[in-house]
Amino acid sequence: MISNNEAEQAVLGSVLLEGSIIGKLTLEPDHFHKAPHQKIYEAMKTVSSRSEEVNTVTVSTELGEDMKKCGGINYLIQLADAVPSTEPVMHFQQLIYDAYRNRRKRELSLTYSEQHGDDALDKLIKSLTDLRGVGVQVEEKTTYDHLAEIANDMVSPPDQSAHGFPVGFHDFDKMTGGGPQRGDLFIVAARPSMGKTAFALNMASGHCKNGGSVDVFSLEMGAKQLLQRMISAQGNIDAQKWRTMSFSESDYNKGINAIGEMTNWDVDIHEKATTVAEMRAIIRRSVKELNRENHMVVIDYLQLMSVVDSYDRRDLEVGSITRELKLLARELNIPIILLSQLSRGVESRQDKRPMMSDLRESGNIEQDADVVGFLYRDDYYNDDSENQNIIEIILKKQRNGPTGTVELAFIKEYGKFVDLDRRYNETHVPSA
């Protein structure tokens, strides 16, 4: 249904019957299908904006010469008389929204049918996604409800695992309150070749081992390459051997065992989605249609993402991406791990540990992110460093938790991160 004349009449009649109702409505004139109803409702809003009572007299006066085009004073009277009760007005409002969305979907689809191409498709997807939120009524909890919930939590603390997703690193999980939190946008930033992709894959693997599900969006590497890296980390196989495919019998056995375990993981790798709109559709399907309750998203990486709308500056584009991803994380109540490059400015300092100002094309990154973590390896810059194979995860921002540094061992041959107290127990000498 692309129009609902009865619902439009019921809403207009309810307002004429009880003028104060218009303050509860969120409709705009263009949400109505019939032009006379648009004019009548616009007149009602104008009268209400002057703090005057909305009734047949004030509305007809506001309409003036347009009154005849809208059916005359008799039509207004008929609208009011036809409404037995104003109680279902919010239901009728929703019916108008439903018809409006259907009408706009048809218009957008017709426009796309005349303008083929990837750009037109991106715009169609974005417009349809935005349209989903038109007329959606959000039920907010009252302050009393929140205070009562907090009091109950103090008496019976909730299970923290219901909020955080542990990824298998003891100190990291502890500092982040049980791992990445639901609804959070978690930025992991580092200079190239520092290990951020490996770290993100290790987080995804740890979450899968705990029974969670993951969508990985790879804009830099193919799905097969990422899976090979995950197999290397899982099976302790030298990642360089994928280049020559010269595996020993031991490598083969470890690889087959790793692949066998990974087949039980609930992980999907996507290599073609590059816009937020495309990613949103995939993530929504994972959460809504596939009912993945403990879902995590990894995006590698921010600077390779594209946008549908055009901006004068790249930092504004990046800001729009992080804002949409943050809203998506909150809407679906999932953590989104977003990798980001750092500017070259870090290379010019004596202490090369990253700072917030090093985020490339920062825009709103720092503002939108709930957590910002930087990766730093001293042996990356100093060959004679005492901290060989040790990586620092520097949490510079954590909206609901402490900031600080967590150290992990990084076994470069395998692309694997482990807790420091385990590093000497790992077999990380490359096999022949």
Write out the catalytic residue numbers. Answer: 220
Q: What angle do CA 398, 404, 409 make, to 5 degrees?
A: 115
The bridge status of strand 295-300 relative to strand 336-341 is parallel
Q: Strands, DSSP E only, in 91-245?
A: 185-190, 213-218
In this structure, what DSSP letter does residue 359 have? B
The amino acid at residue 55 is N
344 vs 358: CA distance, rounded Å: 8
Decide: helix, strand or coil at residue 270: strand
Q: Tokens standing for 75? A: 């039509």
In this structure, what DSSP letter does residue 164 have? B
CB 373 within 8 A of CB 187: yes
Nearest Cα to Cα of residue 197 among 405, 5, 23, 412: 412
Q: What backbone torsions phi and psi does residue 226 show, to the nearest 5 degrees?
A: -65, -40
The amino acid at residue 142 is T
Cis ω for the linkage preceding 301 (within 30 of 0): yes
223 vs 313: CA distance, rounded Å: 31
44 vs 28: CA distance, rounded Å: 11
Q: Tokens standing for 333? A: 């109540």
Q: How far is CA 161 from CA 41, 212, 254, in A?
A: 50, 12, 31
